[in-house]
């Protein structure tokens, strides 16, 4: 399909629709194979699950109410509204399932950060400058993300960790969006354990680099 569709945005949009279909329906019958490495979840110890449940309860009611209201004005608008609500329903399911099956992964030399199926960044361990607790100066949820920052959270979750890179790295966003970032804002359910693993990996790579110099 990538060979057939030249426009990267269109290609990304099509691929995302396939992912929405997979994580909302197919994943119940054919689960993805867990990635290799140390896996860290980011969706269990948050309000994300509650947020998704509330959305899934509201959307059917919203679909019915708006369908009846729009039917008084325009049948086409009523059905468009209903289709949008149905899509949003399956999108919410897909977002939760993708967060469940796409954890943050730490390998011997890579850190892979996912924000569900809507965002991904692959980072070399030796490209990490620092990992610190993120201090929120503003309400991050309603603040526009600054240029060069990848906000890798899902739903209404707010970031708890700030990862700074030595060199900017490309990240993949929704609908084929590709940008470079030098800072990643994200969260994990076990931040202390995650921080320990990353620091140990960074120290190991520093030792290897020092050894190579000699």
> pLDDT, tens digit, for every residue of 59-109?
888 888 888 787 787 888 888 888 999 999 999 999 999 999 999 999 988
Residue 200 included in any domain: yes
Domains held by the chain: number: 2
Residues 97 and 109 in one domain: no
Q: Could you tell me if 105 and 159 are in contact, meaning their C-beta atoms sit under 8 angstroms apart?
A: no
The pLDDT of residue 135: 77
Dihedral (Cα; 132, 192, 106, 180), 10-degree rounding = -20
Residues 16 and 77 in one domain: yes
CA angle 46, 51, 53 (to 5 degrees): 115
Q: Give the C-alpha separation, 131 to 93, whole Å.
A: 31
**For range 129-158, the mean pLDDT:** 77
Domain of residue 69: give its range: 8-27+41-101
Residue 62 included in any domain: yes
Q: Considering the entire predicted model, what is its pTM?
A: 0.84
Q: Could you tell me if 117 and 98 are in contact, meaning their C-beta atoms sit under 8 angstroms apart?
A: yes
Residues 195 and 141 in one domain: yes
Q: Give the C-alpha separation, 19 to 200, whole Å.
A: 34
Which H helix or E strand runs over 10?
helix 8-24
Structure tokens at 70: 């729009």
Counting residues of the chain whose pLDDT is more than 70, the rounded percentage is 86
Residues 124 and 196 in one domain: yes
The closest of 45, 1, 36 to 193, measured between CA atoms, is 45
Residue 2 included in any domain: no
End-to-end CA distance of the chain: 49
Q: How many CA atoms lie within 13 A of 45 on its CB side?
A: 10
**For range 39-46, the mean pLDDT:** 91
195 vs 67, residue with greater confidence: 195
Q: Could you tell me if 159 and 151 are in contact, meaning their C-beta atoms sit under 8 angstroms apart?
A: yes
- Strand partners for 39: 105
**For range 132-159, the mean pLDDT:** 76
Q: Give the C-alpha separation, 152 to 116, whole Å.
A: 9
Residues 143 and 129 in one domain: yes
């Amino acid at each position: 399909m990538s060979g057939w569709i030249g426009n990267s945005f269109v290609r990304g949009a099509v691929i995302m629709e396939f992912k929405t279909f997979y994580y909302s329906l197919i994943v119940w019958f054919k689960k993805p194979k867990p990635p290799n490495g140390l896996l860290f979840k980011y969706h269990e110890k948050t309000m994300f699950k509650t947020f998704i449940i509330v959305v899934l309860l509201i959307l059917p009611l919203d679909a019915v109410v708006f369908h009846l209201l729009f039917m008084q004005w325009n049948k086409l608008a009523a059905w468009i509204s209903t289709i949008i609500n149905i899509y949003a329903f399956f999108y919410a399911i897909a977002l939760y399932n993708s967060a469940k099956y796409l954890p943050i992964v730490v390998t011997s030399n890579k850190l892979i950060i996912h924000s569900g199926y809507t965002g991904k960044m692959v980072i070399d361990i030796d490209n990490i400058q620092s990992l610190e607790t993120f201090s929120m100066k503003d309400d991050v949820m309603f603040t526009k993300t600054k240029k060069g920052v990848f906000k890798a959270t899902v739903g209404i979750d707010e970031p708890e960790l700030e990862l700074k890179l030595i060199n900017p790295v490309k990240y993949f966003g929704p609908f084929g969006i590709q940008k470079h970032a030098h800072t990643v804002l994200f969260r994990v359910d076990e931040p202390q354990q995650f921080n320990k693993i990353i620091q140990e990996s960074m120290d190991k790579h520093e030792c290897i680099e020092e050894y190579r110099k000699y």
